[in-house]
Amino acid sequence: MMAAANVFQNRIGGSWQGAQNGQTFPNYNPATGELLGSFPLSTEADAHAAIAAARAAFEKWRLVPAPKRGEILYRVGELLTRHKEELARIMTQEMGKVLKETRGDVQEGIDMAYYMAGEGRRLFGYSVPVELPNKSGVALRDPVGVVACITPWNFPVAIPTWKMFPALIAGNTIVFKPASDTPHSALRLVELLYEAGLPEGVVNIVFGSGATVGEALISHPDISVISFTGSTESGRHVAMEAAKSLKRVSLEMGGKNAVIVLDDADLDLAVEGILWSAYGTTGQRCTACSRLIVQRDVQDALLGKLVPRIERLRLGNGLDEQVDVGPVINAQQLEQIHAYTEIGKGEGATLVIGGEMVRDGDLARGHFYRPTLFKNVRPGMRIEQEEIFGPTLSVIAVDSFEEAIAVNNNTKYGLSSAIYTQNINRVQRATRDLTTGIIYVNSGTTGAEIQFPFGGTRGTGNGHREAGIAGLDVFTEWKVVYTDYSGKLQKAQIDG
């Protein structure tokens, strides 16, 4: 909510309020440098107030029948649909990706609202036969309590809905700490939740730094679950701190995803998938393709088609419908991406295209980096192993299908893989042998659908999944109820 011109507030326990210390932080457009507004630089006390509000609301919200909770989410879906263009434009202004992508970001939230609303009439438990006569057993899902949702800036509507909507339908309450680079998108989402009829205090939003607000959430005894998406380093810290109080933790972290192009692939189709996966969202996706593993026999032919397409990608303000690639989120990330370009050159990789910040014309006001491609990249190089989170693609040539699979799997991450081939036997072997949480066949590394579990292996996560039915697991406890109607004491597993 806007309290004064472009000055926004936290929502805690049904009221809008600034940080208790009165401090704010600015929100800038990364394409233009324009000041978009100011948000509360909240304190630990603000976070504690939000937790207390969520805890108080939980005692009533958990008793609302799940189908009634679902009706609110259906209305959220309708409101997100009605406000889709508004939300998309807010998102493009504060994080940079082009409108067709931010519209898709909102659509993910719409899809999740309707999907999880339907779970209000399911929330399946199960009943199976028990071993004694005149006795029954049923397993039920119970809400866990207060959930801390800590989300990143690259999907500022979609990712919060992946976390909040399953938590809400299960009967939990929420303290939401969005990324400081995209606070307005998060605030509008919360406003629409309340417009849909959410009871006061069920969702609380607190803006501020991870070092202050995030740490307060991680350490507070009344937080039962932490759902975090961000870097692997930050996720590891969350897990270690939360373990001290035995909190349940769901982590979605980094990726170093690869597209494999074999010698029988449709190269034109592969080029389309590589372009979208590597340079969509300016490479700022956990599912972005940052490695292109190609059989040596077709490398020159593939790059001959791919490089001219990269050259034609148009950089600019994402509000311009003709733009293909928007800005990098902020100056720090811009510097980090360029540092990896220098690392790649220093390691002996060949810079084919890009590799520079844009310092001329209107784009100089924003944080723009030219789409970049390296070839002659060897397995084990830093640019082949470390997450860059920018528009940088490394090409690794291999001699065989088996080598391609081995190179793909040899990273500390395990989110998404893609393979281009027209050989069904290779497809079957690849789906068996690729060790990532998501595999695409003849498509790019990105484009998950909300009815399936989303997540990865190794350093990408800690085993939990978001979306689909699996998305409910971290936000529910299993409760088993036995009813003995025999009228006497029956002892299970006792002989005689």
- Positions of E strands within 209-358: 223-229, 248-252, 257-261, 289-295, 350-353
Cα distance between residue 260 and residue 436, in whole Å: 13
Cα distance between residue 388 and residue 336, in whole Å: 8
Annotated active-site positions, please?
A: 252, 286
Cα distance between residue 328 and residue 358, in whole Å: 11
Are 31 and 366 contacting, i.e. CB atoms less than 8 angstroms apart?
A: yes
Are 85 and 103 contacting, i.e. CB atoms less than 8 angstroms apart?
A: yes
Q: Which of 92, 91, 29, 95 is nearest to 329 (CA)?
A: 95
CA quadruple 373, 374, 378, 379: dihedral sign = negative
SS3 412: coil
Which position has the token pair 């070092």? 211
Q: Which of 351, 266, 268, 362 is nearest to 314 (CA)?
A: 362
Cα distance between residue 173 and residue 163, in whole Å: 11
Are 174 and 203 contacting, i.e. CB atoms less than 8 angstroms apart?
A: yes
Q: What are phi and psi of 55, to 5 degrees?
A: -65, -40
Report CA 387 to chain centroid distance, whole Å: 15
Q: Helix, strand, coil: what percent of the chain each, to 5?
A: 40, 20, 35
Cα distance between residue 74 and residue 350, in whole Å: 52
Cα distance between residue 383 and residue 372, in whole Å: 12
Cα distance between residue 248 and residue 479, in whole Å: 16
Are 394 and 344 contacting, i.e. CB atoms less than 8 angstroms apart?
A: yes
SS3 73: helix
